């Protein structure tokens, strides 16, 4: 009788165009923020790892600034996050990028004996499951003193699965306050908008196939103590020094602004900071950004990984430990956190 009533209800709902809500019976683990929405999504991660901390102590190529060790936590994070493409900052500039690729080969080996590709520009390294072409790098100078820069490459995605490739700019902007440093951050943003303008117009130094998705990510050193004008420039294409870098240019292919992804901690809640140092009196901040051409790509899942606030069950399932994002677990010093987006190419 109850079954008959249920069937009548279903029939009635069908007549008015609704379907009854059916509880899924699958026993598979429910999706968490760590899961990609689909296998076709590209998982892109940016992480300022602090000078060469991901390499063992005693590595002869370690940067002279190296004083911290996150060798094992970094490997656990890679295993849990499983990025397809990474942008790492504060990799010592004398290091061959294949040393970064070797870590990925060990932790996340590719099928068929393929090797991860790696490309360095200043202290920025792009690491990718896929071929990297159109490799370039740029440096931002002040009085001939080398300061910061970025690594650039086209991630050559498999034609069978993706309509187009993905152009990536992995950047580290100048840190600290003060007029000179603000000016250097603005120079770098102006340089990049001029580059994006060149990407979209025939001629000049670079041409991309029309509608190629692009993403600018990394440690932009965007503080809450200054207006972070350089971030506005990247999003809106409003160049400040037009005498030197040319006319403003909307950075997206459809003549609109780009989008700043602004992921949340573990995909939910209100926290969005990507850097934190409780010892020095600064507010935690969104120093690290992921800015992209939203007319040709979509971010369907994103998170700042914060293991310290993750559910213990999920931590365990992911093979992570609560302290894994601390640079120094003894003093609870975070430094930077890993920032992740899952990208769908919509072009
Ligand atoms: Ca061009
Ligand atoms: Ca302008
Ligand atoms: Ca747009």
- Residue 199 alpha carbon to ligand 1 centre in Å: 5
Domain range enclosing 69: 32-345
Q: Is residue 13 part of a domain?
A: no
**Can you give the pLDDT of all 347 residues of the chain as single tens digits?**
445 544 444 444 444 444 444 444 445 566 899 999 999 999 999 999 999 999 999 999 999 999 999 999 999 999 999 999 999 999 998 899 999 999 999 999 999 999 999 999 999 999 999 999 999 999 998 777 768 999 999 999 999 999 999 999 999 999 999 999 999 999 999 999 999 999 999 999 999 999 999 999 999 999 999 999 999 999 999 999 999 999 999 999 999 999 999 999 999 989 999 999 999 889 999 999 999 999 999 999 999 999 999 999 999 999 999 999 999 999 999 999 999 999 999 98
Q: Is residue 283 part of a domain?
A: yes
Ligand nearest to the CA of 197: 1
- Residue 195 alpha carbon to ligand 3 centre in Å: 17
Ligand nearest to the CA of 297: 3
Q: Is residue 64 part of a domain?
A: yes
pLDDT, position 15: 46
What rounded mean pLDDT belongs to the chain?
92
* d(C-alpha 117, C-alpha 205), whole Å: 24
pLDDT, position 28: 59
Q: Is residue 10 part of a domain?
A: no
Ligand nearest to the CA of 195: 1
pLDDT, position 326: 97
Residues with beta carbon < 5 A to ion ligand 3?
252, 256, 294-295
- Residue 250 alpha carbon to ligand 3 centre in Å: 9
- Residue 218 alpha carbon to ligand 3 centre in Å: 20
pLDDT, position 141: 85
Instruction: Find the CATH number of the domain harbouring 252.
Output: 3.60.10.10
- Residue 200 alpha carbon to ligand 1 centre in Å: 6
Tell how far CA 290 is from the center of its chain. Answer: 5
Provide the whole-model pTM.
0.91
- Residue 272 alpha carbon to ligand 2 centre in Å: 29
For the chain, give the secondary structure using H, E and C: CHHHHHHHHHHHHHHCCCCCCCCCCCCCCCCCCCCCCCCCCEEEEEEECCCCCCCCCCCCCCCCCCCCCCHHHHHHHHHHHCCCEEEEECCCCCCCCHHHHHHHHHHCCCHHHCCCEEEEECCEEEEECCEEEEEEEEEEEECCEEEEEEEEEEEECCCCCCCCCEEEEEEECCCCCCHHHHHHHHHHHHHHHHHHHHHHCCCCCCCCCCCCCEEEEEECCCCCCCCCHHHHHHHHCCCCCHHHHCCCCCCCCCCCCCEECCCCECCCCCCCCCEECCCCCCCCECCEEEEECCCCEEEEEEEECCHHHCCHHHHHHHCCCCCCCCCECCCCECEECCEEEEEEECC
- Residue 257 alpha carbon to ligand 2 centre in Å: 14
Q: Is residue 20 part of a domain?
A: no
Ligand nearest to the CA of 209: 1
Q: Is residue 241 part of a domain?
A: yes
Q: Is residue 216 part of a domain?
A: yes
- Residue 205 alpha carbon to ligand 1 centre in Å: 6
Ligand nearest to the CA of 232: 2
Count of structural domains, the chain = 1
- Residue 255 alpha carbon to ligand 3 centre in Å: 7
Ligand nearest to the CA of 233: 2
Q: Is residue 222 part of a domain?
A: yes
């Amino acid at each position: 009788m109850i079954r008959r009533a249920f069937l009548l209800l279903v029939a009635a709902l069908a007549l008015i165009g609704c379907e009854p809500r059916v509880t899924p019976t699958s026993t598979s683990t429910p999706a968490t923020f760590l899961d990609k929405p689909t296998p076709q999504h590209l998982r892109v991660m940016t992480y300022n790892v602090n000078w060469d901390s991901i390499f063992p102590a005693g590595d002869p190529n370690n940067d002279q600034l190296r004083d911290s060790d996150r060798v094992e936590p970094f490997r656990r994070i890679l295993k849990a996050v499983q990025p397809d493409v990474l942008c790492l900052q504060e990799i010592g500039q004398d290091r061959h990028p294949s040393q970064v690729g070797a870590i990925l080969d060990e932790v996340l080996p590719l099928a068929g004996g393929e090797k991860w590709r790696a490309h360095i520009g200043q202290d920025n390294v792009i690491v990718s499951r896929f071929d990297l072409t159109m490799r370039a790098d740029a440096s931002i100078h002040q009085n001939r003193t080398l300061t910061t820069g970025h690594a650039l490459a086209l991630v050559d995605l498999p034609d069978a699965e993706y309509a187009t490739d993905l152009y990536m700019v992995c950047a580290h902007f100048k840190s600290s306050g003060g007029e000179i440093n603000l000016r250097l951050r603005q120079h770098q943003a102006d340089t990049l908008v001029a580059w994006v303008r060149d990407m979209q117009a025939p001629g000049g130094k670079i041409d991309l196939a029309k509608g190629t998705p692009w993403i600018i990510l990394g440690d932009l050193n965007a503080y809450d103590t200054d207006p972070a004008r350089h971030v506005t420039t990247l999003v809106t294409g409003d160049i400040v020094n037009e005498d030197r870098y040319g006319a403003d240019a909307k950075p997206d292919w459809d003549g609109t602004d780009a989008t700043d992804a602004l992921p949340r901690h573990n995909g939910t809640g209100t926290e969005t900071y990507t850097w934190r140092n409780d010892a020095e009196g600064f507010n935690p901040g969104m120093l690290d950004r992921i800015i992209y051409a939203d007319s040709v790509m979509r971010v369907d899942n994103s998170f700042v990984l914060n293991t310290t606030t993750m559910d213990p069950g999920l931590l365990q399932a992911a093979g992570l430990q609560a302290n894994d994002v601390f640079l120094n677990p003894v003093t609870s010093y975070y430094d930077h956190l890993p920032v992740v987006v899952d990208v769908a190419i919509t072009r």
